[in-house]
A and B are shown apart, each in its own frame.
Chain A
């Protein structure tokens, strides 16, 4: 029987949130180099999702608004359909390359030009967010998908807007479909990733198929 997902807490995505997610995900993929791979493309996508989950979790614990993805517990641990959708769009807009024969996810030259300029123009303001992603990639980037999943399953955390700690592995085993992470409300955030209106517009053009020139 298909389990219906119902969550009391939800969020609405603003243009700034999407720009933050696109730019941080490009940064993560670029920073991971050739290490986002798996036995198949799904495996590689799962590895990317777990790295993003760990980075978002750390940002939220520090009250830093960076990644804004919903992460729910599914069959293979914390996963985000939003992230998967965004990844597909990054590939179709030629910002990220998904090599199906080698099951690898890499940044494209166009994606690299984007993130290089963003880092250069905002490194002073967004230093902490980049450092969080760096530390996650350094710690977990070279592990296999299965190794990361094992580490994530051992984590205990309190779901956002939830009460009481849960063990992620136990929640997967019991098929408890919990929402672990979502966008941090601006009012609750101590800091957020700075994305200027020029960058929001740039992401709008780069990601919009109507402007694929």
Chain B
């Protein structure tokens, strides 16, 4: 049986501070659903191109939709963000290196939460 471990990275923590009006129980429920089924959660997307190792899911606690950017380490070292240089996307690589350091293990799956921002579809009109 695999064990899922969650990590909040600094961007996620900062955004959570800005969004203190979000009911904690709704966030906890969303995160526990996400951990249970990170790839089939409603509105889960595996990102493409340069964002390929990352996933997004939409969280709507009522009124505003937020976008959670996350990475799943499921033990396959070749696919891991460490191999893909995901540190480039993080604002302070030095500071978070200890947070993201891990050994890929199929028995100990991890989800890293990168950013939690308001989901706003880019539009140019």
Contact = CB atoms under 8 A, between A and B. Distances in A.
Interface of A: 12-13, 15, 18, 21, 82, 85-86, 89, 110, 113-118, 121, 197-199, 201-208, 210-211, 213
A206 B45 contact: no
B123 A110 contact: no
A205 B120 CA distance: 9
A213 B115 CA distance: 9
Contacts of B49: 113-118, 202, 206
B interface bracket (residues with beta carbon within 8 Å of A): 20 to 34
A210 B48 contact: no
A114 B51 CA distance: 9
Interface string B25-54: 000000000000000000001111111100
Contacts of B121: 15, 18, 204
Contacts of A85: 124
A197 B44 CA distance: 10
A213 B50 contact: no
A57 to B, nearest CB: 20
13 contacts: A12-B125, A15-B122, A18-B122, A113-B50, A116-B49, A121-B48, A197-B45, A202-B47, A205-B69, A211-B67, A211-B117, A213-B90, A213-B91
